[in-house]
Amino acid sequence: MRTWLVTGGAGFIGGNFVLDALKDADTRVVNLDKLTYAGNLDTLTGVRNHPAHRFVHGDICDGPLVSSLLRDHDVEAVINFAAESHVDRSIDGPAAFVQTNVVGTLALLEASRDYWKSLPPDQQVRFRFLHVSTDEVYGSLGPSGCFTEATPYAPNSPYSASKAASDHLVRAFHHTWGLPTLTTNCSNNYGPYQFPEKLIPLTIQKALAGEALPVYGDGRNVRDWLYVGDHCAAIRKVLEAGRPGDTWNIGGNSERENIDVVRAICALLDERRPLPDGTRRDARIMFVKDRPGHDRRYAVDAGKIRHELGWVPEHDFAEGLARTVDWYLEHQPWVRRVLDGSYRMQRLGDGAL
């Protein structure tokens, strides 16, 4: 069996990746997560007693802990999802983003490099360090064109700047020491288990409650939406067949203006859970002061991963959004526990979940 160290594996994308990876009988997962506000043990309930899953409550900044996990579990790959990722929070407090996304990635790279160098040649060849990043490192696009892997970095928020720095560190560790790194830059993810501060789950919850629906600026900021299950499948492709030292953009080929996303959610909820007074939820949309430095448009050219590794997204946006709305409707107890913080009352510590 192969063993993967997944960091941030109780978060949104990392949690979905862990649940998917454990469907493979040949894969063991050591899951390291600090359990900040966005890390949720409830996400991992389905693998609580899985013999191939070990959860460790810890920080990627803790180099000795990471080193011991790599060594004790004979890890063949590190998949780094651990990150502070909310732009609004990075504007309010950028230091936490530098600490986790830059300092934490550096500690993880140093421990992985030293471990990799200690392996016998046949195991060194198989080892991989996969770093999960974002398309936001490229900055903002005009009305046309797409980000490619050759697009110069131009981050515009403290969040994207911290991710850009971590990407550069990953590149440097490959070129300086030969560490077999892989980097992926994805577009906006959506789907099950996303913390309800991001646009789609936040809108679902507010619309479900019949509350006002705040939209930044004129609502015409454009994002390329990627269903989280498709993202996880792409990461598996890169991990299995990607060239060390290379990067891949992962996008959903689903550009939408934010206002259209909000309206689509309203329509789905009006169909599934009409409001008692019969009013349309999109009547509650309200435009609010724009976020500082709000990037106008992101769009990803995923041609490289499509042509080189044969990956294409399976879900178009309409289908993926409907699946996401239905998941949140069916998992309101999960949402309530996240919002009231009661999931934090669980016992924390090492051991299988």
Specify the 3-state DSSP secondary structure of 64. helix
pLDDT higher than 50, residue 349? no
Range 2-189+226-252+294-314: architecture per CATH: 3-Layer(aba) Sandwich (3.40)
pLDDT tens profile 130-173: 999 999 999 999 999 999 999 999 999 999 999 999 999 999 99
Catalytic residues: 135-136, 159
pLDDT higher than 50, residue 197? yes
pLDDT on residue 56: 97
* Dihedral-angle region of residue 229 (phi above 0 means left; psi in -120 to 50 means alpha; beta otherwise): alpha
pLDDT on residue 342: 59
Pairing of strands 181-186, 213-216: unpaired
Pairing of strands 2-7, 77-80: parallel
pLDDT tens profile 38-74: 888 999 999 989 999 999 999 999 999 999 999 999 9
Q: Do residues 284 and 211 touch, judged by C-beta distance below 8 A?
A: yes
Nearest to 78 by CA among 51, 45, 114: 114
Cα-to-chain-centroid distance, residue 215: 22
Specify the 3-state DSSP secondary structure of 38. coil
Kindly state the tokens that stand for 89: 């929070």
The pLDDT confidence band at residue 266, using thresholds 50, 70 and 90, is very high
Amino acid at 118: S
Expressed in angstroms, the distance from the first to the final Cα of the chain is 20
pLDDT on residue 345: 44
Specify the 3-state DSSP secondary structure of 105. helix
Amino acid at 183: T
The pLDDT confidence band at residue 37, using thresholds 50, 70 and 90, is confident
Residue 39 has phi, psi (to 5 degrees) of -90, 130
Average pLDDT score over the chain: 94
The pLDDT confidence band at residue 343, using thresholds 50, 70 and 90, is low
pLDDT above 90 as % of the chain: 91
The whole model's pTM is what?
0.94
pLDDT tens profile 12-26: 999 999 999 999 999
CA-to-CA distance for 108 and 79, rounded, in angstroms? Answer: 10
pLDDT higher than 70, residue 347? no
pLDDT higher than 60, residue 204? yes
Q: Do residues 56 and 32 touch, judged by C-beta distance below 8 A?
A: yes
pLDDT higher than 50, residue 350? no
Kindly state the tokens that stand for 275: 């409001």
CA-to-CA distance for 34 and 331, rounded, in angstroms? Answer: 24
